[in-house]
Amino acid sequence: MTAEPTSYGAEAIQVLEGLEAVRKRPGMYIGSTGPAGLHHMVYEIVDNSVDEAMAGHASDINVVLLANGGCEVSDNGRGIPVDPSTQDPDKSAAEVVLTVLHAGGKFGGGGYKVSGGLHGVGVSVVNALSSRVEVEIDREGSRHAMAFVDGGQLSEKLHVIGTSPVTADGSPRTGTTVRFWPDPTIFDEISFRATTLLERLQMMAFLNAGLRITFVDERPGATTEAVEYCYEGGIRDFVRHVNASKESLFSDVGYLRQAEEKDGESMEVEVAFQWNTGYHSDGLHSFANGINTIEGGMHEEGFKKALTNTVNRYAREHQLLKEKEDNLQGEDIREGLTAIVSVRLTEPQFEGQTKAKLGNVPMRSLVERATNEKLAEWLEEHPSEAKRVLQKALQAARAREAARNAREATRRKSALDGAGLPGKLADCSSKDPREAELYIVEGNSAGGSAKDARNSETMAILPIRGKILNVERARLERMLANTEIQALISAIGGGVGDEEFAAEKIRYGKVIIMCDADVDGSHIRTLLLTFFFRQMRPLVEQGHVFIAQPPLYSTEVGRNKVYLKDDAAKAAFLAQYPNHKNEFQRLKGLGEMDATELWETTMDPTRRTLLQVSVEQAAIADEVFSILMGDDVESRKTFIQSNAQDVRFLDI
C-alpha cells in the first residue's frame, strides 16, 4: 500500500484557542461524555465551593437540579473576585476564571492553603461544555452577574444587578452561585441522576466536619425530597455510617489528628477507625484534599505500616502474643476494620492510572508518626476494645493459615489436572488479554447456547451452576472450598484475596457477567459482583468487569423478529408502532434463546450492549455491598425501599 500524497507544513499545525480545546476533546477534562462525565460537571463546581469551606470561608453549599434541566450550585464563601484581572485589565477576574484554563486562586498567591480543585480547569471546563452558564457573585455589598452561551461565549459582561441580601448577623451576604445547562451536542444524555449526586455530596459533608450541604430536585416527577447533610463528627460519622449495617466490635469510634507546617507548606492528617465482626480487610478508605485516592498512596502506606507495628507492639507488651508466636500480619489486623484516612496538604502530587494515588513522601512520615503515637495511646486508654481487636486479629491469622493451606491444596490439584483450568471452561484460542473475553453464564443450558454462539477465537465461556457462595459472610478458606468460586479463580488467573490478587496476570481483559433478567439472575449477578469487589477489587477498579444486557422482550414486525432491551425500549417501540398487533413476549431466560438469537442480541460485539462496572466511591460501594449481602435485614429493607424508583424492571 502507498500513502496518498499530503502536505505537512505549518498550515497543518492547529492551535485550539481557549475553551475550544475542551469542546474538541471533552474526555481529556471530564473523563467521558457519558453519565460519569455529566455528573463530573456538578462535582467540579461543588469542589470549588468545598475549597472555600476547607479554607474556612464557607459553611453552606446548596445544590439544585432545576426544572428546566440545569443545575445550580451556590455557597456562602468569599465570592469570586470581581475586580479587573491583573493579567488582562479589560476583563474582570471572574470572567478570566470562567473562560481561561488553569486560572484561579489555587496556584500560589495565598488564595488557598489546601484545595481539591488544583488544576484550575473546573468552572472553565463546565463553561466550555454547557449551552448556557449564569454566574451571580455577592461581594462587597453588591450582587454581580454575568452569563455565557454556546460553550463559553460571553453574552452578558459582569455587571451589578443589585445589593447583596443581609445575613442573620446583619452583614451583607458573600458567595458565588453558578447555574449551568449541559450542552446536548456534547453529552450522550443530559439528565442528572439524583442518587449519584447525593452519594458524592454526602461524602463531601463527611470529609468536612460541620459543612452543611443541601440538595433539592425541582424537576417534574422528581422522587427525591430535599436532603440536608451536615456531620459535626466529620469522618467519625463517616465510619459509623459505613459500619451501620455491620456488627461493630465496640461502640467507640477511634480518632486521631495531627498537623504540621514546614517551609511554608502545611500538612494535616485525621484518621477515624472502628472494627466490626466482618471478614474483609479492605475497609480502609483514603482521601487527599477531599479527593478519593482509590489507588492509595503515601498516606495509606504510612497508616498501614504504623497500624501493624503499633498493634503488634501492644500485643507483645500485654502478653497477648506469646514469645514464640509470629507477629500478626497487616491483613490480620485490618480484618473487619473500617477506617477513613483523610489528609490535607498544600501541594498534593497525584499519580497512578486514575491520578488517584498520593505521591507526597513527607505525608507518609506524618501519618506514620501520628498513628504510631496516637493509636498506641488509644489502645492503652481502651483496654477492653484493644483486647477484642487482638482476639479478632488472632482468629484472622489462624484463618489466613488455613486459607494458605487451602490455596496450596488447590494449586497442587490444578498441577495434577494439567493446565489448571476448570473442566467446564470453554476457553478461547487467543492468549492476548487485550482481546480475550470471559463470559460467566448462568446455568448449563445457557452455557451450551453461549458455547455454540461465541466467536471461539476471543470468547471463553464459563457456566456456573446455581448461586455462588455469599462471600460477604464467609472467610477466604471457606470460599476456596467452593467449587464455583474455585472455577472463577482458576479461569481469571490473577489469584484471589486482598494481598495476592494481581490484575496484570488476568487472562481476559473483559469479564462479562451474563445472567437472566429476572430476580434470580439479579441475585446471581450481585453475588458475583460482591465476590469481585471483595476478593478481586482491582479487576473492578480497572474496568475489567462488565454486565451483558440480554433483551427483556421480543416481538415480530412483519416477518422480522425484533428484540427490545428494556421497558423504555418497549415504550419507544409502541410509540413508533401504535397499531402493532403482535403479542409483547417476555423473555424469561437466556436458555430460551438458541445460539443464533443469543449471538444477535447479546454477544455480537457490533450489536451488543455491555454495562461497565466502575467503583468511583469505594467507601459507598463498601456500604452498599454490606447492606445488600450482609446480615442486617432492616438496613437491606430500607435500602431497597428508598432505591425502588431507580429499578428498571422487577420480575416478581
- Alpha-carbon distance of 60 to 50, in angstroms, equals 9
Average pLDDT over residues 68-74: 96
Tell me, yes or no, if the pTM score tops 0.85.
Answer: no
Check whether 353 has a pLDDT greater than 70: no
* pLDDT tens track for 199-228: 899 999 999 999 999 999 999 988 778 999
- Alpha-carbon distance of 296 to 330, in angstroms, equals 15
Average pLDDT over residues 388-402: 88
- Alpha-carbon distance of 192 to 70, in angstroms, equals 9
- Alpha-carbon distance of 111 to 86, in angstroms, equals 15
CATH architecture of 235-400: 2-Layer Sandwich (3.30)
- Alpha-carbon distance of 157 to 84, in angstroms, equals 12
Delimit the CATH 3.30.565.10 region(s) of the chain.
Answer: 20-229
* pLDDT tens track for 555-608: 888 777 787 777 777 888 888 887 776 667 766 567 777 888 889 888 999 888
User: What is the pLDDT at residue 627?
Assistant: 62
**DSSP codes of every residue in 60-74:** EEEEEE-TTS-EEEE
- Alpha-carbon distance of 402 to 624, in angstroms, equals 29
For residue 596, give the 3-state DSSP assignment. Answer: helix
- Alpha-carbon distance of 348 to 345, in angstroms, equals 6
Residue pair 247/634 in contact by the 8 Å Cβ criterion:
no
Which residues are known to be catalytic? Answer: 442, 516, 518, 520
Question: Where does residue 495 fall: left (phi above 0), alpha (psi -120 to 50 degrees), or beta otherwise?
Answer: left
pLDDT above 70 coverage of the chain, percent: 83
Degrees (nearest 5) of the Cα angle 258, 230, 336?
60
For 20-229, the fitting CATH number among 3.40.50.1110, 3.20.20.140, 3.30.565.10, 1.20.1090.10 is 3.30.565.10
Single out the residue of 433, 423, 434, 432 nearest to residue 461, CA to CA. Answer: 423
* pLDDT tens track for 220-273: 988 778 999 999 999 999 999 988 888 899 999 999 999 998 777 889 999 999
* pLDDT tens track for 72-83: 999 999 999 888
Q: Residue 261: beta bridge partners?
A: 266
Q: Which range, 68-72, 91-95, 396-400, 525-529, has the best average confidence (pLDDT)?
A: 68-72
Delimit the CATH 3.30.230.10 region(s) of the chain.
Answer: 235-400
User: What is the pLDDT at residue 587?
Assistant: 66
Helices 298-317 + 383-417 axis angle, to 10: 110
Q: Residue 547: beta bridge partners?
A: 513, 611
Which pLDDT band, with edges at 50, 70 and 90, does 437 fall under?
A: very high
Question: Residue 629 has which C-alpha cell?
Answer: 449481602
Count of all residues that appear for the chain in the document: 652
